[in-house]
Each structure stands twice: as structure tokens, then as C-alpha cells.
């Protein structure tokens, strides 16, 4: 299996993994030329398929993790904004009520003082 390391370093596997259109055809040609028998060719194809599947799974997992993290961050930010808005509204309402009550009490006291 020493030819496998030579095959990987000298074959167009890099083009294939980079997604070029000619990479797959060149890769299959090299397999046919260098594979001493069908078992070795099958081993190479299985290795390549496993590598591609692992890369795809890793990419999918990374994308899912990024989407989940972005979703959680957005939800946290929205919750924080809602809490801040609610707190501000409550504070404004309390201040307005307190001011109205104080003004009403002062006016009532002035009215009572003016009557007597």
C-alpha cells in the first residue's frame, strides 16, 4: 500500500477536493492506471468517499452550530430589548402617576388653605 501515499501526493486529488470539474475524471483515470487490482482501486474510492463524507458532515455540523449560536444571540438580544422597553415604560408610568398625585395633593391643599 506504499503506492497510496504516492498516489495521494501526486494525483489530482487536490483538484478533486477543490471541486474543479476535471478533477473527478482525472482522479478516476489515475485510479485505473495506478490501481494494481480492483481491490486497491476500491480501497482508494472508499477512502476518498469517507474523506468527502467526513468533510461534508463537519461542514454541516459547523453550519448548524453557527445558525444555533446566531439564533440564540438574536433571541437574547430581543429579550433584553423587550425587558429594557418594559422597564422604561413602567418607570415613565410610575413617574407620571407620582407627579399627577403630588400635583393633585398640592392643589387640594392650596384649595383648602384658600377656603379657610
Given a cut of 60, is residue 10 above it in pLDDT? no
Given a cut of 80, is residue 27 above it in pLDDT? no
pLDDT band at 88 (very low <50, low <70, confident <90, very high): very high
Give the per-residue SS3 of the chain: CHHHHHHHHHCCHHHHHHCCHHHHHHHHHHHHHHCCCHHHHHHHHHHHHHHHHHHHHHHHHHHHHHHHHHHHHHHHHHHHHHHHHHHHHHHHHHHHHHHHHHHHHHHHHHHHHHHC
Whether pTM exceeds 0.75: no
pLDDT winner (highest mean) among 26-30, 92-96, 109-113: 92-96
37: number of Cβ within 10 Å? 7
Mean pLDDT, range 78-85, rounded to an integer: 96
User: What integer pLDDT is reported at residue 45 of this predicted model?
Assistant: 81
- Mean of all residue pLDDT scores within the chain: 80
Amino acid at each position: 500500500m506504499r503506492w497510496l501515499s504516492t498516489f495521494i501526493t501526486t494525483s489530482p486529488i487536490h483538484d478533486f477536493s477543490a471541486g474543479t470539474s476535471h478533477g473527478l475524471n482525472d482522479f478516476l483515470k489515475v485510479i485505473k492506471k495506478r490501481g494494481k487490482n480492483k481491490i486497491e482501486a476500491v480501497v482508494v474510492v472508499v477512502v476518498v468517499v469517507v474523506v468527502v463524507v467526513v468533510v461534508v458532515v463537519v461542514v454541516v455540523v459547523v453550519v448548524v452550530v453557527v445558525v444555533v449560536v446566531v439564533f440564540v444571540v438574536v433571541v437574547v438580544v430581543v429579550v433584553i430589548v423587550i425587558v429594557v422597553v418594559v422597564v422604561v415604560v413602567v418607570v415613565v408610568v410610575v413617574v407620571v402617576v407620582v407627579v399627577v398625585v403630588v400635583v393633585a395633593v398640592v392643589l387640594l391643599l392650596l384649595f383648602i388653605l384658600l377656603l379657610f
